[in-house]
């Protein structure tokens, strides 16, 4: 009877260990799936942010072009052109000029 009890106990312990292994494998699979989903969501957010920034840049460029068109139709110079005057401090480096000799 004692041997039968030990055998039953051993089988029960083995069944618990196998169940624990299956549960651990299932948890590992869930964790892997969660990591994949998080990575996918992060990538989607990154793409969305890139697209949002690109759209903002496109709109800003359109506004700039619209301003330039409006100014050219009135004959006014674009604001940047009026601010840019030749700067004598930025003259070409004479050492880089072609040698006249």
Q: For 44-83, write each residue's pLDDT tens digit.
A: 999 999 999 999 999 999 999 988 888 887 765 555 555 5
Q: What is the dihedral of CA 58, 62, 68, 73, to 10 degrees?
A: 160
Question: Could you give the CA distance from residue 21 to residue 18 in angstroms, rounded to a whole number?
Answer: 5
pLDDT at 95 over 60: no
Which residue ranges make up each domain of the chain? Answer: 2-74
- Residue pair 78/71 in contact by the 8 Å Cβ criterion: yes
pTM over 0.85: no
**Burial profile 26-58: b = 16 or more Cβ within 10 angstroms, e = fewer:** eeeeeeeeeeeeeeeeeeeeeeeeeeeeeeeee
User: Which is more confident, 89 or 42?
Assistant: 42
């Amino acid at each position: 009877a004692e041997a039968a009890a030990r055998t039953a106990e051993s089988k029960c312990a083995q069944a618990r260990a196998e169940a624990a292994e299956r549960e651990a494998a299932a948890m590992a699979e869930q964790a892997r799936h969660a990591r994949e989903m998080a990575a996918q969501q992060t990538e989607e957010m990154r793409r969305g942010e890139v697209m949002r920034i690109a759209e903002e840049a496109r709109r800003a460029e359109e506004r700039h072009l619209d301003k330039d068109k409006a100014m050219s139709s009135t004959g006014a110079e674009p604001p940047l052109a009026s601010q840019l005057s030749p700067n004598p401090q930025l003259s070409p480096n004479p050492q880089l000029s072609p040698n006249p000799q």
